Amino acid sequence: MRQLILDTETTGLNAKTGDRIIEIGCVELINRRLTGNNLHLYVNPERDSDPGALAVHGLTTEFLSDKPKFAEIAAQLKDFITGAELIIHNAPFDVGFLDMEFALLGLPKVSEMCFGVVDSLAQAKQMFPGKRNSLDALCDRFGISNAHRTLHGALLDSELLAEVFLAMTRGQESLVIDMLGDQQVAGSVSTSRVAFDDLDLLVLAAGADELAAHEAVLTDLDKAIKGTSVWRTEPAQAKGDAVAA
């Protein structure tokens, strides 16, 4: 599965009142592994940033004045994100700006280009209700260093969010994918599955000491309940499993 961790910086908070995108960062994951095939673009918004936004990202009008306009990078961005699943922290904000920029050029919405959008902020709120779930807070929670982050930057924030997202979603499914290494999973993005028959799983049998310790625990349980513990009971045989004598 191809996923893109995406972040934008903007001139302000409201795309509907004329604020524009000034920076885009995308970090690529294939089967939950960083590929290094990232996209980083600065954009000339043809307007000044609001003072509050400028204090956050530090990208001045002078710095952005010689950068390409969105119309000049739209095709490159569209090609890069098409077909991928996007992971965005507070996705409605970034998607709203991207949809606005694409609409000005007569291009489709993000939802029509991409396989889907995952809002990592919404995920974090479900995992940690009532707690701070900003990117900085999640970095602290998962032990991810962001000491080098003095200002917000789209690519740096995407790289940090990639680490946070992998930590948030590391479970049994990701363990299997990690075991597969860089092997490509057959099938389309929407139907790809791991072939467990192809995995060479190591089975470790209990040793004599471990068996003896287990037997001692069961014996103590039998004494405690003055009978036979459920762990010594053979499972009932289903009717369909009965073997004729």
Whole-angstrom CA distances from 83 to 188, 194, 228, 232, 245 are: 10, 20, 58, 53, 59
Q: Please, what's the largest Cα pairwise distance for the chain? A: 90
Backbone φ and ψ of 86, nearest 5°: -95, 135
The token pair at 67 is 């950068």
With 0-12 / 13-18 / 19 or more C-beta atoms within 10 angstroms meaning exposed / middle / buried, residue 6 is buried
The token pair at 160 is 């940090």
Q: Which residues are catalytic?
A: 152
The token pair at 110 is 């993000």
Radius of gyration of the chain (CA): 26
Rounded Cα distance between 18 and 66, Å, is 20
CB 4 within 8 A of CB 87: yes
| Residue 193 DSSP SS3 | coil
Rounded Cα distance between 93 and 149, Å, is 21
Q: What residues have CB less than 8 Å from 16, skipping those under 6 apart?
A: 100
Report strand pairing: 116-119 vs 21-30.
unpaired
